[in-house]
Chains A and B, each alone.
Chain A
């Protein structure tokens, strides 16, 4: 069976290689050729790439795709070029060259931006990030955040939610909780811009929970104060839950914290990684937070 397949694909593979050689000749500089003929070469490269892909030779297919992409770029069709680069990136992922994957997807995204198509650009970055997030999480996170920035610039904040979610989950996996909380707050801001109240409130509550999980009560409190200035968050159930959690922390009662988390009606609807963190609250030692200013600076004996 395998040998049959090989023999079946061999003529196709051979044909594909011939095409590649032909196209290479068309594009190489030589005495007779002063200008490379990309318009003729590009379709040859595309055909060859398809043939290699079908024959399951990802290395050769990837190279062919890249060359086809260059051809399209020179022929000023960045859209097709971007598509080819994306295919090349997928193949590179199969091969395991993750640096190349990042590079290819970034180039594809830039080409899409050139055509003025922001959504596919962001999608390309997302795909690239997803491909490498296990191996190179830092790069992946950066790509996610770049995708969010792209969409926000274009005014399509709502499509950025998924990217924010992925970025935050990677940060949580890396135990970089402050960064994760920052991402959540940015998510809340994006949601506020497009009036997605529910997502906004959920994002803010997630940020507070992450801060509390990181044992950083002050930051949690500060961010809560900021968030509660917003009307839409202030009136929500998530605000209520946040208030309960923070007051339980302030009083330093772990059983109260657990009770709030288990009986809350909003926490089960957050993202699952945040739910996992919430269930593990309180992490670390919880002591009652004493107000350092004491009696607000006024002393009873100070009545003069």
Chain B
């Protein structure tokens, strides 16, 4: 067996039986408890942040709105709890801890700030782009000056320049006025079109009311005409039947035969003048 193999085997065995290593555990606990509360709180907060981020990611990928709402609420709750913990962490950061290098001591406040920022950045379903984003429809380009809501310091309010119009605000106002005027124009056009429509609709209404009794009259007249036609047709049928009844046919045929007979007799009579007794 080579040295490397031995070393790796030792590492594996140590890891396996780590929990039996009382010294190490006591050392870890020592370093965690009592001496370095900062680190402990820091790790706890970090774990909570991770959990909150996980939850917010679930919320973003979730389709069911109710579930999204609950997840968001939980994320917000944990965020506020974490933010409450930040001041404590800041205080701990200032405390001196032994066995810690000077650089690390200096780095701790920055770590605290970074952690606070991380907490703030957890997406919790509240409107995105609260900081430095553009407002709704009225704004044109994004503002170089950030607009903060309810973030006024009392000193700011007392400054006289606060109430003056800056270039951006003037331009903003002008654009607002221009757009409003355009909207008004459009609305005027729509109003004019609507009045015309209303007038036409009223006229159509009156015309229809006018035509209604006329159509009723036409209806009755056509019904009467149809009934008359029906009657006439029936009578005509009866008359035709009478004309063409079988009895009449027979009478017609008999009469035709008689006439033919008479005609034939006359023909023979004329064609034989000598033998006819009637000369």
Q: Most B CB atoms within 10 A — which of A159, A194, A265? A: A265
Answer yes or no: A228 CB below 8 A from chain B CBs.
Answer: no
Answer yes or no: B195 CB below 8 A from chain A CBs.
Answer: yes
Chain B residues bordering chain A, tally (CB within 8 A) = 12
A265 near B195 (CB under 8 angstroms)?
A: yes
Residues of A within 8 A of B199 (CB): 198, 266, 269
Query: Can you sample 16 A-B contacts with CB below 8 Å?
Result: A156-B213, A158-B209, A158-B210, A159-B210, A195-B209, A196-B206, A197-B202, A198-B199, A198-B203, A198-B205, A265-B191, A265-B192, A265-B195, A266-B195, A268-B196, A269-B196
A269 to B199, CA, bound (A): 7
Residues of A within 8 A of B203 (CB): 198
Residues of B within 8 A of A269 (CB): 195-196, 199
Answer yes or no: A199 CB below 8 A from chain B CBs.
Answer: yes
B192 near A196 (CB under 8 angstroms)?
A: no
Residues of B within 8 A of A265 (CB): 191-192, 195
B192 near A194 (CB under 8 angstroms)?
A: no
A194 near B195 (CB under 8 angstroms)?
A: no
A199 near B206 (CB under 8 angstroms)?
A: yes
A198 to B198, CA, bound (A): 10
Residues of A within 8 A of B205 (CB): 198
> Main secondary structure on chain B at its contact with chain A?
helix
Minimum Cβ distance to chain B for residue A282 (Å): 24
Would you give the 0/1 interface string for A263-291, flagging 1 where the beta carbon is closer than 8 Å to chain B? 00110110000000000000000000000
A194 near B202 (CB under 8 angstroms)?
A: no
Residues of A within 8 A of B202 (CB): 197-198
Interface residues in A183-205 by Cβ distance below 8 A to B read 194-199
- The interface size bin for chain A is 10 to 19
Minimum Cβ distance to chain B for residue A126 (Å): 16
Residues of B within 8 A of A195 (CB): 209
A196 near B209 (CB under 8 angstroms)?
A: yes
Minimum Cβ distance to chain B for residue A198 (Å): 4
A60 to B227, CA, bound (A): 42
User: A198-B206, A269-B195 are known contacts; what are 18 more A-B pairs with Cβ within 8 Å?
Assistant: A156-B213, A158-B206, A158-B209, A159-B210, A196-B206, A196-B209, A197-B202, A198-B199, A198-B202, A198-B203, A199-B206, A265-B191, A265-B192, A265-B195, A266-B195, A266-B199, A269-B196, A269-B199
Minimum Cβ distance to chain B for residue A88 (Å): 28
Q: Most B CB atoms within 10 A — which of A194, A195, A269? A: A269
Q: Most B CB atoms within 10 A — which of A156, A196, A199, A268? A: A196
Residues of B within 8 A of A156 (CB): 213
Interface residues in B165-215 by Cβ distance below 8 A to A read 191-192, 195-196, 199, 202-203, 205-206, 209-210, 213
B203: nearest residue on chain A (CB-CB)?
Answer: A198
Residues of A within 8 A of B191 (CB): 265
A194 near B209 (CB under 8 angstroms)?
A: yes
A253 to B44, CA, bound (A): 83
B205: nearest residue on chain A (CB-CB)?
Answer: A198
Minimum Cβ distance to chain A for residue B218 (Å): 12
A269 to B203, CA, bound (A): 10
Would you give the 0/1 interface string for B201-241, flagging 1 where the beta carbon is closer than 8 Å to chain A? 01101100110010000000000000000000000000000
Residues of A within 8 A of B210 (CB): 158-159
Residues of A within 8 A of B213 (CB): 156
A198 to B203, CA, bound (A): 7
Minimum Cβ distance to chain B for residue A244 (Å): 16
A184 to B219, CA, bound (A): 33
Residues of B within 8 A of A266 (CB): 195, 199
Residues of A within 8 A of B196 (CB): 268-269
A107 to B192, CA, bound (A): 48
B207: nearest residue on chain A (CB-CB)?
Answer: A158
Minimum Cβ distance to chain A for residue B91 (Å): 72
A200: nearest residue on chain B (CB-CB)?
Answer: B206
Minimum Cβ distance to chain B for residue A82 (Å): 19
B210: nearest residue on chain A (CB-CB)?
Answer: A158
Residues of A within 8 A of B195 (CB): 265-266, 269
Minimum Cβ distance to chain B for residue A188 (Å): 13
A197 to B205, CA, bound (A): 10
Residues of A within 8 A of B209 (CB): 158, 194-196
